[in-house]
């Protein structure tokens, strides 16, 4: 190897090293920033009242009840470790809530309904807003994508497009925007019976 | 300056690389979560050999789910107890000859009877119900201990977990919010019930509750 080529190689290695260190420091800087504790993400979300269900007949149900039955078993989303965490009468119970119930005893409480609502709308807050305001279809949300198997879902397919569960949840999601609308409690009731 | 050319024989390379590869494989745990779950179950209890009577009340499919360490694979397995055993004076007691009725999402049922042994254990192997279960699964348990006729159905479905006791745990003040309690036939305990088979080779009270070999 010639002396000139050797000098060139050494210079190239030094240059690469400097570039690597700079890149690491440049990348680490923003990563070490402290998150702004005052920052909030505002969510324009579907109605809580319709999530729980109002003035329901014996054959109707709210969205929360459908999620409790279809998604919230203790071996699925009725677990504290799930990002989508569902509480309910037959699944996970809210600790230090208004009842301190055990699974299978006592109806789903107001605290548990509120926790379910926050879990659902907070899963993808920005997308939830865009879906509710009609900019995106419900299929943009993991809440719909996973049970439809459009994305990997360890629990497999839970419903199919157009069935009662799908119509129940999507009618609630799409109850905002210009078109307006309301949750289809009849479909929710049918889904809760499946 | 001189150029040096270093050559190694294939055997030399193999002797260098193989121990390194072995060390890497040994250091890596393919699934540390599974390993931790297996380790959390603890060792076998002295006097209860590995087999159909061991580890009553534990989550069977943790070890028997195909990831090991057990070689026999179960799709659904668990233990049926007599009562809820939520009183310290009434420990859980396994019930034998109880029928476990299963129906999966395709309305299929196991083609063979699923029955508990004398410590309350039952299990289904993949070959017992080929291609099934398709979750969710509905469950009912029936039994006739002490000349009674008891039946209880699970109020919700099994979503995906083949181990009953992953959810059906002995209830304490630390887990009451996430378990409906043990799988049990009778809504109340019976202090006189001592098991369904006096000749059972293993005490139907799990070792952690005063039972054992």
ipTM comes to 0.80
Q: Who among A104, A154, A156 is closest to B155 (CB)?
A: A104
The answer to whether the Cβ–Cβ distance between A102 and B136 falls below 8 Å is: no
Q: How buried is A28 (Cβ within 10 angstroms: 0-12 exposed, 13-18 middle, 19+ buried)?
A: exposed
Distance separating alpha carbons of residues B3 and A6, to the nearest angstrom: 13
Please report residues of B whose CB lies closer than 8 A to that of A102: 171, 176-177, 179-181
Closest residue in A to B2 (Cα–Cα): A1
- pTM for the full predicted model: 0.81
Structure tokens at A68: 């409790």
pLDDT in 10s for each residue of chain A, 194 residues: 677 778 888 878 887 777 777 776 666 666 667 888 898 889 999 999 999 999 999 999 999 999 999 999 999 999 999 999 999 999 999 987 777 789 999 999 999 999 999 999 999 999 999 999 999 999 999 999 999 999 999 999 999 999 999 999 999 999 876 556 789 999 999 999 87
Shortest alpha-carbon distance between residue B15 and chain A (Å)? 31
Q: Who among A75, A95, A154 is closest to B167 (CB)?
A: A75
CA dihedral A146→A149→A152→A155, nearest 10 degrees, is 70
Closest CA to B82 of B97, B70, B69, B95: B95
The answer to whether the Cβ–Cβ distance between B180 and A92 falls below 8 Å is: no
Closest CA to A172 of A71, A95, A62: A62
Shortest alpha-carbon distance between residue A96 and chain B (Å)? 10
């Amino acid at each position: 190897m010639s002396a000139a080529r050797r000098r060139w190689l050494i210079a190239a290695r030094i240059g690469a090293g400097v570039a690597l260190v700079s890149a690491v420091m440049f990348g680490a800087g923003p990563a070490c920033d402290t998150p702004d504790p005052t920052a909030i993400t505002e969510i324009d979300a579907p109605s809580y009242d319709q999530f729980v269900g109002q003035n329901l007949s014996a054959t109707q149900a709210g969205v929360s009840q459908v999620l409790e039955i279809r998604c919230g078993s203790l071996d699925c989303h009725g677990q504290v470790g799930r990002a989508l965490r569902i509480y309910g009468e037959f699944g996970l119970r809210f600790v230090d809530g208004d009842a301190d119930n055990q699974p299978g005893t006592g109806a789903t409480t107001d605290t548990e309904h509120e926790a379910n609502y926050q879990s659902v709308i907070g899963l993808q807050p920005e997308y939830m807003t865009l879906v509710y305001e009609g900019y995106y279809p419900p299929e943009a949300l993991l809440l719909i994508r996973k049970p439809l198997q459009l994305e990997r879902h360890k629990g497999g397919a839970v419903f199919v497009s157009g069935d009662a569960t799908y119509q129940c949840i999507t009618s609630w999601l799409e109850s905002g925007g210009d078109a307006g609308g309301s949750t289809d409690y009849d479909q929710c009731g049918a889904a809760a019976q499946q | 300056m001189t150029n040096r050319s270093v050559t190694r024989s294939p055997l030399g390379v193999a002797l260098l690389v193989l121990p390194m590869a072995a060390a890497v494989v040994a250091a890596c745990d393919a699934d540390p979560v599974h390993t931790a779950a297996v380790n959390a179950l603890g060792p076998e209890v002295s006097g209860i050999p590995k087999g159909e009577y061991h580890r009553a009340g534990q989550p069977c499919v943790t070890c028997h789910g195909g990831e090991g360490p057990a070689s026999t694979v179960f799709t659904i397995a668990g233990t049926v107890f007599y009562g809820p055993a939520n009183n310290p004076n009434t420990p859980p007691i396994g019930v034998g000859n109880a029928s476990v009725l299963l129906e999966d999402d395709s309305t299929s049922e196991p083609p063979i009877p699923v029955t508990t042994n004398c410590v309350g254990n039952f299990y289904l192997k993949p070959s017992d119900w080929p291609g099934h279960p398709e979750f969710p699964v509905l469950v009912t348990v029936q039994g006739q201990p002490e000349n009674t006729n008891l039946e209880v159905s699970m109020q919700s479905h099994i979503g995906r977990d083949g181990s009953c006791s992953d959810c059906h745990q002995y209830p304490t003040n630390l887990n009451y919010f996430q378990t409906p309690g043990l799988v049990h036939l009778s809504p109340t305990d019976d202090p006189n019930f001592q098991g369904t088979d006096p000749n059972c080779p293993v005490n139907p009270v799990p070792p952690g509750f005063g039972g054992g070999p």
